[in-house]
Amino acid sequence: MTLRAALRNRIDRMIAWRVDRRFDDVHAQLGDLRGRIERIEGRLDELGGHGHHLGERLEAVERRLDPVVHESSWSANELARIAPQVAAFETRLEQQARPQVYTGELADLPEARLLVDVVREEHARVRARLSLVSAYEERLRRLEQQALAQAPR
C-alpha cells in the first residue's frame, strides 16, 4: 500500500469516527427516546391525556440535538476545507519518500554538459531580445507621451 493510500485511509477513518459516529449515536438515542415517549404517551392517553408533557420533553431533546447537528456539519465543512491541503501534503511527502534516481552514465556527462551550455546560450539570447523589446516599448511610450503633450486641445 502506498503512503498516499495509507494516509487517505487514515483520513477516511478519522472522518467516519468524528462525524458519523457522533451523529449516529445521538440519532439512535433520539430514536430510542421517541419510541419510549410514544409508548408512554399511549399509556397516558389511556389514563387521561397527560401526554403533552412528554411531547414538550421530546421537543427539548430535539433542541439539544441541534448543536450536535451543527457541530457535525461544521466538522464536515472543516474536513472538506483542509482536504486539498492534506492532498498536497501527501504528494510532497510521497515525493520525499521516493529516492531520486539518476539513470545517466559517466559517458553521457559530456553530452549533458553540452546541452546545458546550449540551453544557457539560448537563454542569454532570449534575455537580450526581451531587453531590446523592453527598450523599444519604453521608447514608444515616451514618444506617445510627447505626442499627447504637443497635441492641440
pLDDT digits (tens, 9 = 90+) for 11-70: 777 777 766 667 777 777 788 888 888 888 777 777 665 556 767 777 888 888 888 888
Distance CA 61, CA 67 (A): 11
* pTM score of the predicted model: 0.31
- Write down the mean pLDDT value for the chain: 80
Domain final residue pick, 82, 98, 114 = 98
Whether 94 and 125 map to the same domain: the answer is no
User: What percentage of the chain has pLDDT greater than the value 90?
Assistant: 4
Whether 94 and 124 map to the same domain: the answer is no
Q: Domain of residue 74: give its range.
A: 1-98
- As a whole number of Å, the end-to-end CA separation of the chain is 76
Distance CA 74, CA 20 (A): 13
Whether 33 and 6 map to the same domain: the answer is yes
Whether 27 and 72 map to the same domain: the answer is yes
C-alpha cell at 53: 408533557
Whether 116 and 94 map to the same domain: the answer is no
